């Protein structure tokens, strides 16, 4: 009796991975199948898709109809590269290209907790909270009270919440070009 999960794997935060147990006997001869931690399958299954948030070691134990036991383990190491991109310039001129100053994030980003834009004297021009990344609806269009701001350098402050609960803070400058 043999069950194999394969070699340990690396998976980027927020991405799915296949968790597959390979056995050397007919599936119909399985009496008991136990995953640790518990499998997300609704019923005992040999394969599933997982999205680990942290390093996780999975163990599968199988007992066949004759009472024979086999088990294997695999570790999924989560790569936490923190995929966030905040442009350093934008051109709100209505051409449909870079018209909004937006916080961009990968699959590892749960939400943008705080997005603030200030002028060079520290006046708050824009603030949005708790929204998904990559959304122009939550970007800055280069206006204050519906009036176009002049070309200038502005300051931003951003807090990003990642799927694993980590909050990263970003601050910098953005240039508004007309």
What are the tens digits of pLDDT across the range 62-92? Answer: 999 999 999 999 999 999 999 999 999 999 9
* The pLDDT of residue 41 is above 90: no
Give the domain ranges of the chain: 3-79, 84-176
Nearest residue to 139 (alpha-carbon basis) of 123, 158, 161? 158
Q: Do domains 3-79 and 84-176 have the same CATH topology?
A: yes
Stretch among 35-44, 60-69, 167-176 having the lowest mean pLDDT: 35-44
What CATH number matches the domain at 3-79, 2.60.40.10, 1.10.10.10, 1.10.260.40, 3.90.550.10?
A: 2.60.40.10
**Mean per-residue pLDDT over the chain, rounded:** 95
pLDDT of residue 158: 99
Summarised one tens digit per residue, pLDDT across range 100-159 is: 999 999 999 999 999 999 999 999 999 999 999 999 999 999 999 999 999 999 999 999
Secondary-structure class of domain 84-176 per CATH = mainly beta
């Amino acid at each position: 009796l043999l069950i194999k999960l394969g070699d340990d794997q690396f998976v980027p935060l927020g991405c799915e991975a296949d968790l597959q147990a390979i056995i050397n006997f007919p599936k119909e001869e399985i009496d008991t199948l136990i995953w640790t931690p518990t499998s997300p399958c609704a019923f005992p299954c040999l394969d599933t898709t997982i999205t680990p948030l942290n390093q996780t070691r999975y163990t599968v134990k199988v007992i066949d109809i004759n009472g024979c036991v086999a088990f294997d383990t695999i570790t999924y190491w989560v790569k936490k590269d923190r995929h966030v991109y905040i442009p350093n310039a934008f051109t709100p001129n209505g051409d449909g290209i870079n018209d909004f100053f937006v916080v961009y994030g990968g699959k590892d980003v749960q939400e943008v907790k705080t997005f603030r834009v200030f002028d060079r004297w520290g006046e708050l021009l824009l603030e949005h909270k708790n929204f998904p990344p990559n959304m122009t609806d939550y970007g800055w269009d280069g206006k204050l009270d519906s009036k176009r701001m002049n070309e200038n350098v502005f300051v931003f402050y951003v807090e990003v919440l990642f799927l694993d609960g980590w909050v990263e803070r970003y601050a910098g400058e953005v240039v508004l070009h007309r």
